[in-house]
Structure 1
Amino acid sequence: MKRYRFETDEHVLFRKTLRKFLEKEAVPHYDEWEQQRLVPKAFWRKLGGMGFLCPQVDEQYGGLGLDFSYGVIIGEEMERVGAGLTGIGLHNDIVVPYIESYGTDEQKERYLPGCLTSEFITGVAMTEPGTGSDLANVQTTARKEGDFYIVNGQKTFITNGVNGNLFLTVVKTDVEVEPRYRGISLLLIEEGTEGFTKGRKLDKVGMHSQDTGELYFEDCKVPAANLIGEENKGFHYLMQKLQQERLIVALSAQTASEDMLEMTLAYVKERQAFGKPIGSFQNTQFKLAEVATKVELGKTFLESLIEEHMSGADVVTKVSMAKYWITESAREIATECMKLYGGYGYMEEYKIARRYRDIPVTSIYAGTNEIMKVIIAKNLGL
């Protein structure tokens, strides 16, 4: 069954194949991964073997040359299993596209084939202990010395920070220039590079199986050949790619909302109170009517945005709206659905409890929702 207007029979078959794969290789093991606080690398290798890592990569590098619509399907199906698989979408649709768009031929030949197999698992190292949404204020520096950059600084809250071994790192190559964003560059830094160490695996409120870590650079010697694009043009590249990143976040929140609605509808039809299903009570009906409306509005908005994005349109304002509104709606939906489960909704054995703790971070990462409102207001001429 087709989910979107733009889907073809090939999309339907791709989704069916992926869902069957996940039902065998992910669903039975997901609770264990949550307890272990890590998705095993063996699962990444299986994804690569099936062609589910970076299917958009050009065929000359071993990819399938598919468009973003297939990334949408992968993102949705991963989210249906659990938010802890979000690092796969980050790898596929957020980090690797920087190499595809701005990398040199040598960088593409060196890294892209490995990104398809999970030889390279990527992360993006933006956030620092004192710098989140204000990217222009990053403190990690990269000083050019001959054929190398000497990098010093610290990054935190890094998705794939444990499993990852190739990090797109935001650095300051010019600390004097004004405005500050003109001094930002992007470097690819591999695990094992001299002066690069990983910190602890962070213990989060939710998204337990998604490994999140800290990175440290102390006189880290990075080959100048690992510069992505031009020096001091990093902020421009980030602004170009954040549209897709925020669209991916909205997509994950939308999928989670649909999942919560589906599971809660099934629950209230079965759960009895006062001798009848709790779904027969007017309060329950009204709450779920509200949830269903939000879900439908989100899906319709998202579908149009995906189509516009794939056409190459500038939808920064709309994406900011979607990221803000859909993630906020998902938080509200998680609360309402959990309450309809009663005490059982607070129990870890019920998926709704996991959704309740996994959802809030979507309003924080990829730019907080407050930043989304700033962008919207600015683009409204305010």
Structure 2
Amino acid sequence: MGLLQRYRQTPPSIFGRQRHDLVLGAVDASITALWTLSGALRRMKPPPEPNRTIELTVVDREVVAHDQDVVAVWLAAADGRPLPRWHPGAHLDIGLPSGRLRQYSLCGDPADTARYRIAVRRIVDGGGGSIEVHDALPVGTTVTTHGPRNAFPLTVPGYGSPTRRLRFIAGGIGITPILPMLACAQRLGVDWSMIYTGRSRDSLPFIDEVSRFGDRVEIRTDDVSGVPSAVELLGDCPDGTTVYACGPAPMLTAIRAALVGRDDVELHFERFAAPPVVDGKEFTVSIRSTGLQVLVGADETLLTALRRADVAAPYSCQQGFCGTCRTRVVAGAVDHRDTLLTEPERAAGTMLICASRSVDGQQLVLDL
């Protein structure tokens, strides 16, 4: 069975059991080999400082969607030092003053080591992070980070990717990781196009920056043209196209369904919310400290059920890769659906409650 066939047989949801990004897999194998061969050189150099906490100060703010639901925030190092470099698709894990940890895509210039830019949409029922950024993060406020991370890297045709063209699809705030990719593709002279969608022009952040790319970009709004179909989002999408998509879950689901069987098209996507549960079964959890029993529906995550029951549990990405929601399981078998925990961590009774579930509807007892 070929690599591409095995890729197509992996679960389509991020809650599936395998990573299935071909490019990342190849890059990982290459890096592993180079890392092994360069051991002697590494011993000659001091190791990088691990998990250095960087204090960032808010130096500017601006509303970037005219309906005032999206605010851009510029951050500079509190000590004045240059900031770590990053590449298109990267994000920051930001520790807010309240203690919340949230992920925000970097949407500025990767070459700028003086300031980072993020943009945050106000979500009333989103757990408080966006509300804090909008209402309690004025200029002069300090936040923390460990530096940029990239779970959505851009692979450019002719620069490490076998494909010949790029198709970008952004829905609303999904423009944030895509925006630096546009500038990179334009600078490198590759063949690319984009569709940018949202409720109305007033709801679209950075619309002026996107418009500067001219007819390479189609701006389409629901109030004028209706909700776009997957065919309209993908455009021509000929063989050899790599698609980068970021936006609401229904949009991503439609795109993925439309590309089933298209082995000649690469799809990379990023969510800003938890993906739907696949093949879930109803189960219950018991909170050891209180004895509270919580029912988890077949189509909801354990984290969602705990929040609904007012059980305090830390979380951030809601997608099983950041590790904020690590929880100890006292009893019960876990169906691990994250992409982070190691086998020893799982064997020791750790689970990520944003992604993982119980095995066959068994009850879990959590140390919360």
Q: Same fold (TM over 0.5)?
A: no
Which has the larger helix fraction?
1
Normalising by the residue count of structure 1, what TM-score does the alignment of the two structures yield?
A: 0.27
TM-score under structure 2 length normalisation = 0.28
